[in-house]
Amino acid sequence: MPRPRLQRKVRFDPRTTYFKPRGVPLRDLQVVELTLEEMEAYRLRHINGLSQQDAADKMHTSQSTYQRILYSAYEKVADALVNGKAIKIIRD
């Protein structure tokens, strides 16, 4: 039986939940789903300028778990930008 997942602290509540390339209808695009956790990790690091350890503390998680969440966000955002996909922010 796997260990239960801990509740992480997320203070980000987006008003916008979709981002897409201009001029392409959403129905014609593949969608990359970014979780609120991934957005929070990205926001703390790049908008608030926190170190990984400080951001991990704010999210009530370990630095290594925070890093995995952040790198997952990096991969998804890069995929969307490079391959012209839409980004959907989802509540997990």
What pLDDT score was predicted for residue 87?
Answer: 95
Query: What is the C-alpha separation between 59 and 36, in angstroms, rounded?
Result: 12
Using CA atoms, how far apart are residues 59 and 45, in angstroms rounded to an integer?
11
11 pLDDT more than 80: no
Which residue segments constitute the domains of the chain, with CATH numbers given? 18-90 (1.10.10.10)
**Which candidate, 56, 47, 54, places its Cα nearest to that of 9?**
56
Query: Can you tell me which residue has the tokens 């991990």?
Result: 56
Sign of the C-alpha dihedral computed for residues 59, 71, 86 and 6 taken in this order: negative
pLDDT value at position 45? 95
Q: Decide which of 62 and 91 is more confident.
A: 62
d(Cα 82, Cα 58) in Å, to the nearest integer? 31
| Average pLDDT estimate for 61-74 | 95
**In whole numbers, what is the pLDDT of the chain averaged over residues?**
89
Interval 27-52: pLDDT, tens: 999 999 999 999 999 999 999 999 99
Report residue 91's pLDDT band, with 50, 70 and 90 as the boundaries. Answer: confident
The predicted model scores a pTM of: 0.83
The residues that bridge with 86 in the sheet, in sequence order, are 31
Residue 7: the pLDDT is: 60
Kindly state the DSSP code that residue 59 receives in the 8-state scheme: T
